[in-house]
């Protein structure tokens, strides 16, 4: 192995220019097609000269080398950058060879660590020898790691890492019956999806006339009743009545469609824990299956809307992240709907050591309620000023609309916040009407942030967030903490994150 | 970090083996103030001058009502001066609230003037690192350390205003040994 700086293959310039030209291809072709005479050659040169210069600049300033443990990539002349990527962090080596590459015996290499969507390093283009060398280095690093595994397991570092669970065969964690699916359809409104699809279908099939015929015979008497009203008052009342009826019918139809959607799409939903994998499958017509390696779970969220509460149900989602290039990040249902009482068993199985049943939640700062109420009032006051243009009554209405409910909302939200530092997981709870509980293992925490806004400072509060892989949705981001409590939580999270090892 | 690579790389040669992970909050390099001010001056000159010139020309030659001329002739320059001054003062404020610390847990970065934050990245979570240097940074001997994690909000954590040698030695400490790697 040599540790001297290397350059890309000289053909890189060609591929760089070709790559740049691709984005100009269509306008260039149009231009060539429509311009007469020899001027197009001039224009083509005008395009390609600066592009070539960029290609040459990139080629001349791009250097890389293979050190003992890492690949080093140096780029730029004015804005210089030195990137270091350890071999054992590389999850995927993508080697792209299109016909041009094959013809010229080079390859476009992309190295991915699985962290982002973009490859972490791109070597475009290298000769065949260099490609084999990278592969060898990465595989050697992996093998070295595998050899060192027993000692790593013995070290306290490996603590908190999911031990290879005792395989007890398949365990069905969730199985949804039609009754559950009906409730799901009623709670989660998927009806509009169906209506959208149906409208599209009707439009396509041109069966609009056919459908309206029978419907019209129901609607017409109602409209006649409105038209034949004897006085303005009865007319207004009838309009309201017909409108309300129409809305109710629409609402009912949408919910029925939602139930139908749930029955078709989620028919026979099962979640099975098999060894180290979670497998789900569902669907009546198209069966959708997915597999989640248990150790790829980054964050589990239990959600509950007011309707969920009415039916004593919750829904459970999971955020996963993977090392492989495809499907590296996704959010999936562990249970689209679940009896509230069954959530505990599911969580216990999916996140060993976690529990939601007897959590000793630490509440938000006692001033959180007052602060939320004041924030509401402040927004109301701000919006009331432009409303003055419409008259003092409008301004007052805006003010009242924000201040009257703010008291209840503020209390609900403040009481909704809670966090818990468990043995292996951090848990965060939020919301009043729409409630969420998010659970993240310390071993999946990538970074910890303690933040303090100008408003926080006034109230002597801070927020603490634990960043995990796996993208959007609910996160562990705990607001309205007293500064001392925030410091404690931050210290705990940093210590626990640092002493656990992260595995994809 | 092997020795051979150190010899080969002109940049990656820390002058003395300074203990990096001392668990002490370090302020940013003092040269960061000059750097920030230089950037402020450059930005003001490159952005503000054309704006001023355009405003002046329009105010002088276009047929406009008096108050518009007043805004263009007085308001715009005043705005430019205020913004320029703010940009000039800003680096000192930033410097006051920024620091970094390295200990056995990893990297702690503190920063922000109004919205203050403290970010911790454990060593084992670092996927890869960049040490970058723009032309102005190079002039002052500074560099920016970028630490990349697999996270979402903090997929990249930056530490600006480090001397280049310091940035390199921190980098070498953070990704130094494979003890924590368990991919």
Is B8 a residue whose pLDDT tops 50?
A: no
Q: Pick A2 or B182 by higher pLDDT.
A: A2
User: B65 lies in which domain range?
Assistant: 33-94
Task: Examine the domain organization and report whether B81 and B108 are in the same domain.
Answer: no
Q: Per the domain annotation, does B129 fall within a domain?
A: yes
Can you tell me the distance from the alpha carbon of A258 to that of A235, in angstroms, rounded to the nearest whole number?
34
Instruction: Give the dihedral of Cα atoms A417, A423, A425, A430; nearest 10 deg.
Output: -10
- The count of C-alpha atoms lying within 13 angstroms of the C-alpha of A274, restricted to the half-sphere facing its C-beta, is 9
Nearest neighbour of B130 by CB, restricted to A82, A451, A467:
A82
Residue A33 touches partner B, C-beta closer than 8 Å = no
Which class is A11-147 in CATH?
mainly beta
Can you tell me the distance from the alpha carbon of A62 to that of A9, in angstroms, rounded to the nearest whole number?
11
Mutation target vs A (from B125, B146, B177; most A CBs, 10 A cutoff): B125
Task: Examine the domain organization and report whether B161 and B108 are in the same domain.
Answer: yes
**In Å, how far is A308's CA from the nearest CA of chain B?**
29
ipTM: 0.82
Q: Which residue of B has its CA nearest to A454?
A: B114
Residue B158 touches partner A, C-beta closer than 8 Å = no
Is A164 a residue whose pLDDT tops 70?
A: no
Can you tell me the distance from the alpha carbon of A278 to that of B42, in angstroms, rounded to the nearest whole number?
56
The average pLDDT across A245-263 equals 90
Is A388 a residue whose pLDDT tops 70?
A: yes
pLDDT of amino acid B70? 83
Q: Which residues contact B63 (CB under 8 A, 6 or more apart)?
A: none
Residue A324 touches partner B, C-beta closer than 8 Å = no
In eight-state DSSP terms, residue B28 is: P
Residue B180 touches partner A, C-beta closer than 8 Å = yes
Can you tell me the distance from the alpha carbon of B4 to that of B133, in angstroms, rounded to the nearest whole number?
23
Residue A5 touches partner B, C-beta closer than 8 Å = yes
**In Å, how far is B59's CA from the nearest CA of chain A?**
33
Can you tell me the distance from the alpha carbon of A340 to that of A393, in angstroms, rounded to the nearest whole number?
46
Q: Among B76, B94, B112, which residue terminates a domain?
A: B94
Residue of A421, A356, A446, A444 whose CA lies nearest to A160? A444
The average pLDDT across A204-223 equals 65
In eight-state DSSP terms, residue B30 is: T
Residue A157 touches partner B, C-beta closer than 8 Å = yes
Domain count, chain B: 2
Residue A77 touches partner B, C-beta closer than 8 Å = no
- The 3-state secondary structure of A443-499 reads HHEEEEEEEECHHHHHHCEEEEEEEECCCCCCCEEEEEEEHHHHHHHHHHHHHHHHH
Name chain B contacts of A461, Cβ cutoff 8 Å: none
The average pLDDT across A378-387 equals 88
Q: Among B25, B59, B94, which residue terminates a domain?
A: B94
Structure tokens at A116: 């982002």
Task: Examine the domain organization and report whether B84 and B114 are in the same domain.
Answer: no
Please give the C-alpha separations between residue A36 and each of A21, A25, A27, A295, B54, in angstroms, as whole numbers. Answer: 21, 18, 15, 64, 39
Q: Which residues of B37-46 are buried (b: 16+ CB within 10 A; e: fewer)?
A: bbbbeeebee
Task: Examine the domain organization and report whether B90 and B105 are in the same domain.
Answer: no
**In Å, how far is B147's CA from the nearest CA of chain A?**
10
- With CB atoms and an 8 Å threshold, state whether A5 touches B8: yes
Nearest neighbour of A113 by CB, restricted to B121, B123, B127:
B127
Residues A196, A201, A203: CA angle, nearest 5 degrees: 95
pLDDT of amino acid A203? 74
* CB within 8 Å of chain B, chain A residues 207-236: none
Is A31 a residue whose pLDDT tops 70?
A: no
Q: Per the domain annotation, does B79 fall within a domain?
A: yes
Nearest neighbour of B2 by CB, restricted to A67, A161, A451:
A67
Surface-to-core class of residue A84, CB atoms within 10 Å of its CB (0-12 exposed, 13-18 middle, 19+ buried): buried
Residues A448, A449, A453: CA angle, nearest 5 degrees: 165
- With CB atoms and an 8 Å threshold, state whether A475 touches B152: yes
CB A173 within 8 A of CB A346: yes
Task: Examine the domain organization and report whether B110 and B173 are in the same domain.
Answer: yes
Nearest neighbour of B149 by CB, restricted to A115, A161, A500:
A115
pLDDT of amino acid A34? 65
Can you tell me the distance from the alpha carbon of A314 to that of A342, in angstroms, rounded to the nearest whole number?
9
**In Å, how far is A183's CA from the nearest CA of chain B?**
34
Nearest neighbour of B130 by CB, restricted to A83, A145, A465:
A83
- What is the bridge-based pairing of β-strands A297-304 and A313-321? antiparallel
Most confident of the ranges A66-80, A232-246, A485-499: A485-499
Structure tokens at B121: 């990245």
Structure tokens at A473: 């949705």
**In Å, how far is A459's CA from the nearest CA of chain B?**
14
Name chain B contacts of A504, Cβ cutoff 8 Å: 150, 183
Can you tell me the distance from the alpha carbon of A116 to that of A491, in angstroms, rounded to the nearest whole number?
27
Q: DSSP assignment of A83-134, as one string?
A: EEEEGGG--EEEEE--HHHHHHTEEEEEEE-SSSSS-SEEEEEEEHHHHHHH
The CATH number of the domain where B171 resides is what?
A: 2.30.29.210
Name chain A contacts of B128, Cβ cutoff 8 Å: 83-86, 89, 113, 115, 120-121
- With CB atoms and an 8 Å threshold, state whether B153 touches A503: no
pLDDT of amino acid A214? 60
Q: Which residue of A has its CA nearest to B151?
A: A469
Domain ranges (residues) in chain A: 11-147, 185-266, 270-364+417-499, 368-412
Q: DSSP assignment of A162-201, as one string?
A: PP------EEEEEE--HHHHHHHHHHS--HHHHHHHHHHH
- pLDDT confidence bin for A213, thresholds 50/70/90: low
- The 3-state secondary structure of B62-94 reads CCCCHHHHHHHHHHHHHHHHHHHHHHHHHHHHH
* CB within 8 Å of chain A, chain B residues 28-47: none
Q: Pick A228 or A70 by higher pLDDT.
A: A70
Helix then strand then coil, in percent of chain A rounded to 5, is: 50, 25, 25
Residue B5 touches partner A, C-beta closer than 8 Å = yes
Task: Examine the domain organization and report whether B104 and B66 are in the same domain.
Answer: no
The average pLDDT across A16-40 equals 68
Structure tokens at A226: 């409105």
The average pLDDT across B27-36 equals 94
- With CB atoms and an 8 Å threshold, state whether B150 touches A115: yes
Three-state SS at A435: strand
* CB within 8 Å of chain B, chain A residues 380-419: none
- Give the Cβ contact number of residue A283 at 10 Å: 14
Span A107-137, pLDDT tens digits: 999 888 866 667 888 888 888 788 888 888 8
Nearest neighbour of A447 by CB, restricted to B12, B130, B151:
B151
Residue A79 touches partner B, C-beta closer than 8 Å = yes
The average pLDDT across A305-310 equals 94
Q: Among B43, B63, B94, which residue terminates a domain?
A: B94
Q: Average model confidence (pLDDT) for chain B? A: 84
Residue A488 touches partner B, C-beta closer than 8 Å = no
Span B122-177, pLDDT tens digits: 999 998 999 999 999 999 999 999 999 988 889 899 999 999 999 999 999 998 76
Q: What is the pTM of this model?
A: 0.81
Q: How far is CA A204 from the centre of its chain?
A: 34
Q: Per the domain annotation, does B16 fall within a domain?
A: no
Task: Examine the domain organization and report whether B82 and B119 are in the same domain.
Answer: no
Residue B171 touches partner A, C-beta closer than 8 Å = yes
Span A168-181, pLDDT tens digits: 567 889 999 999 99
**In Å, how far is B64's CA from the nearest CA of chain A?**
30
């Amino acid at each position: 192995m040599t540790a001297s700086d290397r350059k890309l293959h000289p053909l890189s310039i060609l591929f760089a220019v070709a790559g740049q030209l691709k984005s100009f291809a269509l306008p260039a072709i149009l231009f060539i097609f429509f311009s007469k005479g020899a001027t197009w050659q001039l224009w083509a040169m005008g395009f390609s000269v600066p592009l070539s210069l960029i290609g040459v600049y990139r080629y001349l300033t791009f250097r890389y080398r293979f050190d003992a443990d890492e690949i080093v990539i140096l780029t730029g002349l004015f804005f210089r950058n030195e990137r270091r990527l350890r071999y054992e962090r590389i999850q995927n080596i993508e080697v792209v060879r299109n016909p041009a590459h094959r013809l010229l015996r080079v390859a476009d290499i992309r190295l991915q660590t699985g962290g982002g969507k973009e490859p972490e390093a791109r070597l475009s283009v290298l000769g065949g020898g260099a490609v084999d060398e990278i592969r060898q280095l990465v595989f050697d690093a992996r093998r070295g790691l595998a050899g060192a595994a027993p000692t790593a397991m013995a070290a306290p570092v490996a603590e908190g890492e999911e031990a290879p669970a005792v395989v007890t065969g398949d365990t069905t964690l969730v199985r949804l019956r039609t009754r559950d699916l009906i409730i799901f359809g009623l709670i989660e409104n998927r009806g509009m999806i169906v209506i959208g699809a149906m409208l599209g279908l009707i439009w396509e099939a041109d069966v609009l006339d056919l459908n309206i015929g029978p419907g019209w015979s129901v609607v017409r008497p109602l409209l006649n009743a409105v038209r034949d009203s004897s006085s303005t008052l009865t007319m207004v009342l009838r309009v309201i009545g017909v409108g309300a009826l129409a809305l109710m019918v629409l609402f009912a139809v949408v919910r029925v469609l939602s139930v139908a959607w749930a029955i078709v799409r989620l028919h026979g939903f099962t979640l099975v824990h098999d060894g180290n994998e979670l497998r789900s499958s569902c669907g009546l017509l198209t069966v959708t299956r997915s597999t989640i390696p248990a150790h790829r779970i980054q964050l589990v969220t239990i959600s509950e809307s007011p309707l969920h509460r009415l039916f004593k149900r919750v829904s459970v989602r999971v955020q996963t992240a993977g090392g492989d290039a495809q499907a590296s990040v996704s959010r999936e249902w562990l249970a689209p709907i679940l009896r509230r009482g069954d959530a505990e068993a599911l969580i216990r199985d999916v996140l060993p050591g976690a529990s939601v049943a007897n959590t000793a939640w630490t509440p938000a700062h006692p001033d959180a309620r007052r602060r939320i109420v004041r924030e509401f009032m402040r927004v109301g006051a701000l919006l009331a000023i432009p409303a003055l243009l419409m008259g003092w009554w409008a301004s007052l209405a805006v003010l009242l609309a924000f201040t009257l409910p703010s008291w209840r909302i503020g209390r609900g939200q403040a009481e909704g916040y809670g966090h818990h530092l468990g043995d292996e997981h951090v848990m965060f709870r939020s919301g009043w009407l729409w409630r969420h509980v998010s659970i993240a293992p310390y071993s999946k925490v990538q970074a910890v942030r303690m933040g303090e806004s100008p408003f926080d400072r006034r109230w002597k509060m801070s927020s603490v967030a634990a960043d995990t892989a796996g993208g959007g949705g609910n996160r562990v981001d705990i607001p309205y903490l007293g500064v001392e409590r925030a410091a404690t939580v931050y210290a705990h999270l940093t210590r626990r994150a640092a002493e656990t090892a992260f595995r994809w | 970090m092997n020795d051979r690579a150190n010899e080969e790389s002109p940049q990656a040669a820390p002058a003395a083996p300074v203990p990096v992970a001392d668990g002490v909050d370090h302020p940013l390099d003092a040269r960061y103030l000059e750097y920030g001010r230089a950037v402020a001056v450059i930005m003001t000159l490159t952005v503000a001058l054309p704006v001023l010139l355009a405003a002046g020309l329009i105010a002088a030659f276009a047929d406009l009502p008096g108050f518009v001329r007043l805004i263009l002739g007085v308001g715009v320059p005043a705005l430019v001066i205020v913004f320029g001054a703010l940009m000039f003062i800003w680096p000192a404020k930033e410097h006051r609230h920024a620091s970094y610390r390295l200990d056995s847990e990893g990297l702690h970065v503190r920063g922000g003037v109004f919205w203050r934050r403290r970010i911790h990245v454990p060593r084992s979570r670092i996927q890869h690192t960049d040490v970058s240097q723009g032309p102005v940074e190079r002039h002052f001997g500074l560099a920016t350390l970028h630490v990349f994690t697999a996270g979402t909000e903090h997929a990249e954590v930056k530490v600006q205003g480090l001397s280049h040698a310091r940035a390199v030695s921190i980098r070498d400490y953070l990704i130094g040994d494979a003890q924590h790697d368990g991919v």
